[in-house]
Every structure is written in structure tokens, then in C-alpha cells.
Chains A and B, each alone.
Chain A
Amino acid sequence: MPFEWFVAIRYLREGRVQTLLILAAVSVGVSVIVFLSALINGLQTSLLKQTLGTQPHITLVPAELVARPLFAATTVAATTIEKSPQRLQSINQWPTVLEQVERVPGVVAASHTVTGAAFATRGVAEKPVLVHGVDPERFLSVIDVRSKMKAGHFRVSGDGVVIGVGLANLLGLAIGDKLRLSTTLGADALVVVRGIFDLGSKDVNERWVISTLRVAQTLFDLPAGASSLELRVASVFDADTIAQDLAERTGLEANSWMKVNAQLLVGLRSQSNSKVMIQFFVVIAVALGIASVLIVSVVQKSREIGILRAVGTPASRVLRVFLIQGGLLGLTGSITGCALGALFAKFFQTLASNADGSPIFPVELSPGLFAGASALAILIGLGSALLPARRAARLDPGEAIRHG
């Protein structure tokens, strides 16, 4: 074993109580970091998954209709210009636009849809619904409904539709039942329920009817049209940037999930910030702990350090003896800390569980988290050992031997 390691380990073992106390402190610190990260990352992932499970990352729609005065602006003809009513319009040349946006870097899937409000009636029951006319394969690549089916299959073809569990309950619908969809334009269509899904959102489950494109085109009087393009992007937090890019390229209005869910995003960000804040203070506390223990050790051992120097130990080796002690405290503390943090997280998960025993949200314990926390602890150890180590290396041997 190299000299520095030999001496460092011996010193750590010699100062048993001090070493154990500071190891406990490092462990607690690391466990807080691990636990907090696992909890908040898990929570955020599950929130995001829930949110993005029912909406495309980016939606492209035609720009709003704008009322234009008939006269030149210099002529005062009216004191107010009313906003024109918005009716559902098709995206101009949507097949070309679809092809274009699919090629934009970062976009992984695109689906053209006709989406509009309608009424669903069965017998005397009537409910307002949102009809999504889609190309099934394309739609599924943007929003995965197939894995969320509760009954039947995702069979959207001909007059077949799939609806949410909420709507099925409200109207008393089962697989194979017929349903009438009608719009304020006076158009209506008779469709058959082929599947029932549960996307985890009450609003979506009670409102969504997914039909073929053709059914929706007929209902909303948009023959061969598409009212919106829905996209999925590779990295969800890039959605805003990509949306801006798309808006410039196509002249359409591009809404990213980040804009639609601004509130959620603010929540997630402040959660992350508070996590970083707490971890920062934990790091400071751990660093101060290690540093103070090592400073005391240098003072206690200054005569021994002087003797080591007197018998020919270079200052650089003395420096390393104390750096290694700091690094070892960090490493050992991080191993027990990771185990402790994982244990806390698992325990917490069992506390916060649904009625059926499954966790409300899974804590995220990844190898990366452990590696990161350990690397951080070792760095803290080395960093906080720097000051004491330099002090030890700079001790004047003669002085240290006589007065230490």
C-alpha cells in the first residue's frame, strides 16, 4: 500500500470516535440528497407522464381569423372593431405542411387531426364531447392510447370509435353500443363504440371521442381537411423552442405543452430549485463537518507531522495523507448514505400508496443518482480536506516537534 494511504487509513482508524461521528454526518447528508432527489425526480416524472399522456407535445393550428376594416385606417368608420367569431378551419395545404414539420429536427412523430366540439346522444342522454378525427397509426405514435385501453380494442375504422371510461359511464355505453354524434352545424353521424380507454384524467375520460378522420371531416364540414397537426418531440423540454421554430417555418400557431401547462412548469421548476437549495446547504454542512474534524486532527497531530517531516517525508506526501482522509470519509459516508437514502425512499413509497397497495408515484432510484451522490461526497471530502492538508504540509518541522 502506498505510504500516504497507509498513514491516512491508520489515522482514521486511530481516531475511532471522531471518524465514526463524521462518517455518520456524511451518511446522513448523502442520504438526504439521495432521498430528496429520488422523491422529487419520481414525483416530477410521474406528473409529466400524467400530463403528457393526454396531450401532444406541440399542436399546430391555423392562425386566428382577424376582422379587417373595409376602409383605410385614415377614415373613421367605426369606433370598435369586433373580433370575428372563430370557426373551425382547415390548415392550408396540410399534407405538405405535415411532411415539412416531420423533417424538423427534434420532431419524432406527427399526426393530422380534425378536432371539434359535438354532442353525443344515446337515447335521451346527451353530453358535450370533443371529437378527435385521426389517422389511427399516426395518432397512436403521438399519444399512446392503445396501452390505456380498459375494454375492447383501439379499433378506429369505418364507424368505429373509442371513448373514455367517464363518457361510457355517463351514457351507459358498452362495447358494440351505438352512439349519435351531432354538431351545431346540423351534421350528425352514427358511430359504434369499439373500445373504452382510461387516460387518467377525468376531463379527458368524460369528453374524448376518437373517430376516423373521415367521420370528423363530415361532422365539421371540412372535407379532406385537417384542423390541427399534433406532434411528439424527442426531448419534452425542447418543446417550446421547437414550437417557436415551427411557427416561423409554417406561419401556423404553434402551442407547446409547456405553454399550455405554464402553471405546472412553474411548479416543477420551483420544486427543482428548492431541491437544489436544500442539497446546497446539506453539502455546506457536510463540508464544514469534514473540514473541522480534519483541522482538529492536524492540530492534534502536528508533532507527529513534524516527526514525519524530520525523518524525510516530503511535504507533498503529508498533503496527500490528509487529502486521502477527506476523500475516504466522503467515499465511505456516501456508500452508507446511498443505502440509507434508498431505504428512506422505499419506506416513504410504502407510506404513500393507493388503496390497492401500488405506490402513488414511484421514487426514482437510478444508478446515476448513486454515482452522482458518491462523486459529490468524494469531491466534498477532498475539497474540505484541502485547507487542513495544506496546513499540515506547511507545518515547520522544528516548531512542530518542539511545541506540538
Chain B
Amino acid sequence: MADAQPVLQVEQLVKEYGDGVVTRVLHGIDLQLQRGELVALIGPSGSGKSTLLNLIGLLDRPTSGRVVLQGKDTQGLDDRALTQLRGETLGFVFQFHHLLPAFTAQENVMLPAYAHAGQPSAAMRERAAEMLRAVGLAAKITTRITDLSGGQQQRVAIARALAHDPPLVLADEPTGNLDTASADEVFELMRRFNAERGTSFLVVTHDPRIAVRCARVIEIVDGRIAR
């Protein structure tokens, strides 16, 4: 690949919670993701997967260690700069109920761009519609989120995560709470985007069927990388 720079680089990441009784959730994680990788992050409940994802997603700050996104060190950035970096370089796919129920599928997909620009534009709407067509929801563009099935909602979430073409998409249990058929559909969608656009994916999952289909699997146990 032309640029050897990793999409994501995590160095000696430590996260502790609590003031009196300190609980160390992550014990110095080192991790690298190259452009175009599709990586599964697995591990038992409470192993620190979600904490790691939140730190990488700039939704939380580490106790020590560094998160470098696209070569940009995020240490010491203020909330404003973090928000902007998050908006530009990251896409999020949460569990399926993490869409905004008051809005339509199209509005949900265009929301990140809208929130960033402040004003809507025809290009934003078109882009959102295009993304929804790409995930197979051409007929549901103006449907309220609450009128969609779980699998459909998760496809909207993927469309939203990819609408601004981020280099890295973080997915937290994207197929949790979905039946097997829908889970397969959603995962296939991610794999297609990974193959077609070279978007890197870091997917936290409990589902071994998903994990085995990823090119690389990272397992976390007790806040350390086990494999």
C-alpha cells in the first residue's frame, strides 16, 4: 500500500476507573491497524473491549498511553478538536438501537455531516440517499427509524458510519440482538465496504461466527491482549 502509515496506532494504553478504589481495566495495550484491515476484537464480558473501543473512538480519555489516528496524536487535544477529529476520521456502528428515533433513515445518515456544517445541503441529502441505496434500503429512505426492523436499522447505522467516507469504522457489537440471517447480512455489508472502499473496520463482537470471518482476530482477556 502506498502510505505505510497505520490508520490506528495504540501505544501502552492504560485506563483506570474510580477515585478511592482504583480499578485498572486496561493494562498497557499496544495495537496497530493498517489501512484496509478488517479486525475482530473479541473477549469475555468485562475484559475491557468496550473501554478500548471508547478510547480509540475518542469518547473517553486514557489514564496513560497514546492513541494515534491517521498519524495524528490525540494526546492533549481539547474537546473541540477531539470532536472534529472524530467527525472526520471515524465512523461508529453501535448496537441497533443507537439511532435517533425522532428522525428518518435519511436524516440519521446525513446527521453527522449536517451537525458538522450547521446547514443542510442538497449534496448531503443525495449522499445519504445514495448510501441507503448502497445498503439495500432504497425503499426506506424517508421512513422513520422506529418503523424499521432491527436488521434494517443496523444497515442505516452502517450507512451513517460510512457516509463521510472515514478511514476507520468502529463497530461495537454490530450484530448483537440480531437474528442470524440479519447478522449475516450486516456483516456481509461491512465486508463489502471493506473490500470495495478499503475502509478499515475494528469490530467488537461476541459472535464467534463473525470473528472467524475476519482476516485478523485480537482477543483481550483481563485488559491485556491475549492473542
Interface residue ranges, A against B (CB under 8 Å): 1-4, 6, 10-11, 13-14, 303-304, 306-315, 317, 396-399, 401-402
Is residue B60 contacting chain A, with contact meaning CB distance below 8 A? yes
Instruction: Name the residue of chain B whose CB is nearest to the CB of A321.
Output: B115
Known: A317-B115, A398-B54, A401-B94. A311 touches B102 (CB 8 A): no
Check if B92 sits within 8 Å of A311, measured CB to CB.
yes
Check if B92 sits within 8 Å of A6, measured CB to CB.
no
Check if B160 sits within 8 Å of A311, measured CB to CB.
yes
Known: A304-B100, A310-B57, A311-B111. A402 touches B50 (CB 8 A): yes
Is residue B84 contacting chain A, with contact meaning CB distance below 8 A? yes
Count, chain B residues at interface, CB 8 A: 30
Check if B115 sits within 8 Å of A315, measured CB to CB.
no
- Report chain A residues within 8 Å CB of B114: 3, 6
> Which of A13, A312, A398 interacts with B87 by CB under 8 Å?
A312
- Report chain B residues within 8 Å CB of A397: 59
- Report chain A residues within 8 Å CB of B30: none
Is residue B83 contacting chain A, with contact meaning CB distance below 8 A? yes
Interface residue ranges, B against A (CB under 8 Å): 50, 54, 57, 59-60, 79-80, 83-84, 86-88, 92, 94, 98-103, 111-112, 114-120, 160
- Report chain B residues within 8 Å CB of A4: 118
Check if A315 sits within 8 Å of B59, measured CB to CB.
no
> Which of B60, B79, B83 interacts with A312 by CB under 8 Å?
B83
A-B contact pairs, 21 of them (CB 8 A): A2-B119, A3-B115, A6-B120, A10-B102, A11-B102, A13-B102, A304-B100, A307-B99, A307-B100, A309-B59, A309-B83, A310-B59, A311-B111, A312-B115, A313-B111, A314-B80, A315-B80, A315-B83, A398-B60, A401-B94, A402-B54
Q: What would 14 more interface pairs be, CB under 8 Å, given A396-B59, A398-B59, A399-B60?
A: A4-B118, A6-B114, A309-B59, A310-B57, A310-B86, A311-B111, A311-B115, A312-B83, A313-B111, A314-B115, A315-B79, A317-B115, A397-B59, A402-B54
- Report chain A residues within 8 Å CB of B86: 310-312
- Report chain B residues within 8 Å CB of A314: 80, 83-84, 115
Check if B98 sits within 8 Å of A401, measured CB to CB.
yes
Query: How far does the Cβ of B224 sit from chain A's closest Cβ, in whole Å?
Result: 21
- Report chain A residues within 8 Å CB of B50: 402
Q: How far is the CA of A397 from the CA of B112 in the complex (A)?
A: 15
- Report chain B residues within 8 Å CB of A312: 83-84, 86-88, 112, 115-116
Check if A14 sits within 8 Å of B102, measured CB to CB.
yes
Q: How far is the CA of A401 from the CA of B80 in the complex (A)?
A: 19
- Report chain A residues within 8 Å CB of B101: 14, 304
- Report chain B residues within 8 Å CB of A401: 59, 94, 98
Q: How far is the CA of A14 from the CA of B115 in the complex (A)?
A: 19
- Report chain B residues within 8 Å CB of A310: 57, 59, 86, 92
Most central of A4, A11, A310 by chain B CB within 10 Å: A310
Check if B116 sits within 8 Å of A396, measured CB to CB.
no
Most central of A303, A311, A313, A399 by chain B CB within 10 Å: A311
> Which of A3, A308, A317, A402 interacts with B100 by CB under 8 Å?
A308
Known: A397-B59, A401-B59. A313 touches B98 (CB 8 A): no
- Report chain B residues within 8 Å CB of A306: 59
